[in-house]
Chains A and B, each alone.
Chain A
Amino acid sequence: MKAILHVIEYDFTNFFRFRWFIAALITMNLADLFISAVVFTQMTSLVNYFKFFAPGLAVVGLFASAFMIGREINMEVRREIHHYLLSLPMTRRELAIGRVLAGGLRGMLYMTPLLITNFIVLRFPTPPQLLLILLTLLLLAIGISGVSISIAVSTTSFEKFVTARGVVYYMFFFCSSVFYPLSVIQVLATKGLEPLVAFAQINPLTSGSDLIRSFLLDPNEYVFSPLMILNVAVFSVMFAFLATFAYAKILQRH
Chain B
Amino acid sequence: MGLKKLWLVIERDLRMFIQYKFLLIMRAIWFVAQVALFGLVVNKLVETAAAEVGISYFHYYVAGVTIITLYSTTMFIGYDIFEEAEHGVFEYLLTLPVSRRELVLGRSIGGGLRSFIYVGPLLVVVLSILGVLNPLHLLVALAALFLFAFGVSGMSITIAVAMKSGDKYDILIGVLDALIVRLSTTMYPQLYMQRAMPAYAAIANFNPLTYAADLFRWGTGVESALQFSPLVGVLGLFIFFFAFTFVGVVFYERRLEGGSWQ
Instruction: Write the residues of chain A forming the contact surface with B, with a CB cutoff of 8 angstroms.
Output: 20-21, 23-25, 27-28, 31-32, 35-36, 38-46, 49, 159-160, 162-163, 166-167, 170, 174-175, 179-181, 184-185, 187-188, 191, 193, 196
B193 and A44 form a contact (CB under 8 A): no
Given the complex, which residues of B lie within 8 Å of A166, measured CB to CB?
Answer: 26, 29-30
Give the A-binding residues of B (Cβ under 8 A): 21-23, 25-26, 29-30, 33, 36-38, 40-46, 48-50, 167-168, 170-172, 174-175, 177-179, 182-183, 187-188, 192-193, 195-197, 200
Give Cα A20 to B193, complex, Å.
29
Across the A-B interface, give the 3 residue pairs with the lowest CB-CB distance, nearest first. Answer: A159-B22, A170-B33, A174-B37
Residues from chain A with a CB closer than 8 A to the CB of B192 are 39-40, 42-43
| Residue pair A162, B23 in contact (C-beta under 8 Å) | yes
Question: B45 touching A46 by the CB < 8 A rule?
Answer: yes
Say which residue of B33, B40, B49, B196 sits within 8 Å of A187 (CB atoms). Answer: B40
Q: Are B37 and A31 in contact (CB under 8 A)?
A: no
Kindly provide the distance from the CB of B79 to the nearest chain A CB, expressed in whole angstroms. Answer: 14
Distance between A175 CB and nearest chain B CB, rounded to angstroms: 7
**Which residue of the partner chain, among A25, A41, A181, contacts B174 with CB atoms under 8 Å?**
A25
* Beta-carbon contact of B179 and A44 below 8 Å: no
| 13 chain-A/chain-B pairs, Cβ below 8 angstroms | A20-B167, A20-B171, A21-B170, A39-B197, A40-B45, A159-B23, A162-B22, A162-B26, A170-B33, A174-B33, A180-B42, A181-B45, A188-B40
* Chain B residues with CB under 8 A of A36: 182, 187-188
**B38 to A174, Cβ gap below 8 A?**
yes
Q: Is the interface of A mostly helix, strand, loop or mixed?
A: helix
Contact of A32 with B182 in the complex, beta carbons under 8 Å:
yes
- Asked if B22 and A170 make an inter-chain contact with CB atoms under 8 angstroms apart, the answer reads no
Q: Indicate if the CB atoms of A185 and B41 lie closer than 8 Å.
A: yes
Closest Cβ of chain A to B40, distance in Å, is 6
Task: Find chain A residues with CB under 8 A from B172 CB.
Answer: 24
Measured in the bound complex, the distance between the Cα atoms of B44 and A203 in whole Å is: 21
Given A43-B192, A160-B22, A170-B37 in contact, is the A35-B29 Cβ separation under 8 Å? no
State how many angstroms separate the Cβ of B107 from the closest Cβ of chain A: 24
